[in-house]
Structure 1
């Protein structure tokens, strides 16, 4: 609830669905990606036939990357998607199957987070009345928001993280996501084989609500934009001999270029104690988002909130004893997480 209460705008409710909604299949992500494409200003009714085309296209594209798209051992719908990818059925046949089977659960479940319905809704189910869904004013406000382009990237990154966790078929306690600082990618390993997952920027941005971790200036994850976020190490990498696993997800944040590179930026200074609490809260969002960042954070920082808080505090004190100088950003917006 804190995720919404601190900033109850439509884009944060949408991020809540993508990051914290229940994941038993990847249909929620495919539906989100389809809706990004179907923001029709002249008609807010989207028929299932119209929705099916981009919905199943995104699913088929991801099936080519990862065969596991859910926790169920079998699915007639996913079997049809695989048959299309193998050239065994036509697109027309696949769309008809999607209309019949693809939306049986996802439309009802889309607005559920932690088994509870959100008050804020982005579409209304009108399948029985009009054969589709009706986009709400809230959805249209979402599409007009400056963060909209970021949401598209964030959704795909979250999808890649979840499907990769399913595909590895490992016990939760063995899942671990690592960071490649040179290429700014999140990856994992299986039997000594490295598996690249997704962009670190795209994966972290939603948990920070599209803002710089330090000053709350809006940032972007779109390459080539002036406000492109930097991936920053909260506790500087120069402390690698004193603190283990500084490349761990627990220590990675997105920062604006002013805070990360500017004359008055953090550089190799130690963020202040209130920023440490902010890092703890951000990491707890990872814990609540489940596969696979939850398992990664627990492995890196502790099983309980108290252990995780103590982990951060101990490492922060080690950093301060070695580098001495504390740093505080100049706020550019309200505290949002």
Structure 2
């Protein structure tokens, strides 16, 4: 996939797993969180030790999004055990036993598969058949030492919650639309007369930008209070919305993460229109969304077009319409090199 082939870092391969790998019963996300949490002191991790954070994250998400189990005609034995644990029917040691027995059979083999085959970088070796354990690789240890590692937890949880909401709502794709709440900085959708918050906007966007400012490629953070906390920016300025009534400028397709100097600095974008090469970058970013499936996939298709040429034309027409409103063009200073 182009996402990590043009930028073959460990962070890109990991994000490729989270964003584009199959969502088998949410186990992929629970495993990712377990790998974040488990002790990294030894490279060999027993399944019994991995099962502790793995089951804890599953139980927490089932409490918050229990309706997803109702969409399964026959929940598997592990999800049943998690539900029983949440209800106080079984104890912690019983949950761990069930997790070791039923939790890792598929997910450990499938975790590194993206687009029909294994990715080039493997973050652990599956040794469950030989010794009921996994072995962390050098790629994983380099990953946790990277400057981007602190963002990966937020990105994984945001992706997990989006998948859960899509299952929970069980809506026909054409009825699913996603909008941005600038006050809460969240993504939301509507079901009949109800408004449903999906997840943090920052955390959802960051992985597709590989942890960097969309404009200048400076590193950004998702941690509240961090000096490099990303701003959520409208690529085409929101001030022109009254002049473009048929275009939803608050849609996901028009939202990017920017560093603070690019968004609100002295030489920042403000209410100007980014140069054309940045529009091409936005198109590539939106295609990543679509390839990652549910529910941002449907949101961008609904808002911009059902096929790639139509979506490209939509962006070009919207960009030209913004320029006709006499907005100035803007180009950021290039601080780093990053290929989206």
**TM-score of the superposition, structure 1-length normalised?**
0.97
Q: Secondary structure at the match of 1:46?
A: strand
Aligned to 1:297: 300
Secondary structure of the corresponding residue to residue 45 of structure 2: strand
Q: Is the Cα–Cα contact under 8 Å of residues 25 and 70 in structure 1 kept in the other structure?
A: no
Question: C-alpha distance in 1, partners of 2:237/2:157?
Answer: 29
Relative to structure 1, the CA distance from residue 216 to residue 171 in structure 2 (aligned partners, 3 Å threshold; closer, same or farther) is same
Structure 2 unaligned blocks of 5 or more: none
* Alpha-carbon contact 1:24-1:72 (below 8 Å) kept: no
Moved more, 73-82 or 26-35: 73-82
Name 1:66's counterpart in structure 2. 65
Report if aligned partners of 1:219, 1:229 keep a CA contact under 8 Å in 2. Answer: yes
Matches within 5 A, 1:1-337: 1-41=1-41, 43-67=42-66, 68=68, 72-74=72-74, 75-243=76-244, 244-337=247-340
Aligned-CA RMSD value: 1.2
Q: Distance in 1 between matches of 2:312 and 2:214?
A: 18
Once the two structures are TM-superposed, the CA of residue 198 in structure 1 deviates from its matched residue by 1.1
Q: Report if aligned partners of 1:25, 1:69 keep a CA contact under 8 Å in 2.
A: no
CA distance in 2, matches of 1:179, 1:33: 26
User: 2:125–2:135: 8 Å Cα contact kept in structure 1?
Assistant: yes
Post-superposition, which runs of at least 4 consecutive aligned residues in structure 1 deviate over 6 A?
none
What is the total number of aligned residue pairs between the two structures?
336
Helix, strand or coil for the counterpart of 1:329?
coil
Give 3-state SS (helix, strand or coil) of 1:224's partner: coil
Distance 2:305 2:169 in 1: 23
Cα offsets for 1:216-265 (capped at 9, x unmatched): 00000110000000000000011011222110000000000010001111
**Equivalent pair of 1:242/1:318 in contact (CA under 8 Å):** no
| SS of corresponding position for 2:270 | coil
Contact 2:71/2:168 (8 A) holds in 1: no
Secondary structure at the aligned position of 1:196 is classed as: strand
- 3-state SS of the aligned residue for 1:295? helix
CA distance, structure 1, for counterparts of residue 69 and residue 239 of structure 2: 40
Cα distance, 1:72 vs structure 2: 4.3
Deviation string 1:70-110 (CA, Å, 9 cap, x unpaired) is 97422221111111101111111111000001111111110
Q: Select between 310-319 and 323-332 the one with higher mean Cα deviation.
A: 323-332
Structure 1 gap ranges (5+): none
- C-alpha distance in 1 between matches for 2:316 and 2:6: 24
Q: What is the CA–CA distance in structure 2 between the aligned matches of 1:179 and 1:64, rounded to whole Å?
A: 26
Q: Are the equivalent residues in 1 in contact too, given 2:271–2:327 (CA < 8 A)?
A: no
Q: Whole-Å Cα distance in 1 between the matches of residues 51 and 12 of structure 2?
A: 26
Report the CA distance between 1:69 and its aligned residue. 5.8
Whole-Å separation in 2 of the counterparts to 1:177 and 1:79: 31
TM-score norm. by structure 2 comes to: 0.97
Q: Structure 1: how far apart are the matches of 2:16 and 2:268?
A: 30
Q: Distance in 2 between matches of 1:39 and 1:69?
A: 30
